[in-house]
Amino acid sequence: MAHAGEDVRRCLHCGKPLPASARSDTRFDRPACKAAHRRARRHHAEAVRIGFAILDGRKAEVSRACPVCGNRFVPGHGHRSDAIYDRSSCRTAAWRKRVREGATGQRVHTAVNKTMALNEFMPLTSANAAIGVKDFSESLTAPPG
């Protein structure tokens, strides 16, 4: 326990008093405070770097334009450092566009490959047709019913 004239050592992040039994080089009261302090320092350093870049007229170097909406944003400050889109709604819109444009071609390609594989496995012959085996390409491309 601290005496009247002594300063109580405190956690650098949350300010709570450190236990009296803590080592002399202890700076944080728990590992979560240490991690939070590290994140806060990194966030601050990044904000300073971005601020100086903008003041120096290098905004284009630190910011990026969202390919969906065109808004400029700074990746790594409130975003992932490898972010492509500024908002989750833009990311979703881009994904939906990719699915709309590419899904039809991909599904046709997959169906053609399956048809070829099935027909190679069991080719349609007159003997197979006589016992009721259908051509697999017709079953994949024909509408159900």
Helix (H, G, I), strand (E, B) or coil at 64: strand
Span 111-134, pLDDT tens digits: 444 444 444 444 545 555 555 555
In angstroms, the CA 101 to CA 103 distance is 6
Tokens of 107: 């599904």
78-86, long-range: CB within 8 Å, 24+ apart, which pairs? none
Statement: residue 102 has pLDDT above 50 = yes
pLDDT tier for residue 100 given thresholds of 50, 70 and 90: confident
pLDDT band at 26, cuts 50/70/90? very high
How far apart are alpha carbons 53 and 50 in whole angstroms?
5
Q: pLDDT tens-digit profile of 56-87? A: 888 777 788 899 998 888 887 676 778 889 88
Q: 125 phi and psi, to 5 degrees?
A: -120, 170
108 — pLDDT class (breaks 50, 70, 90): very low
Please tell me the distance from the alpha carbon of residue 137 to that of residue 117, in angstroms, as a whole number: 10
Residue type, 3: H
Collapsed DSSP state (helix, strand, coil) of residue 65: strand
Instruction: Give Cβ neighbours of residue 14 (< 8 Å, ≥ 6 apart).
Output: 29, 33
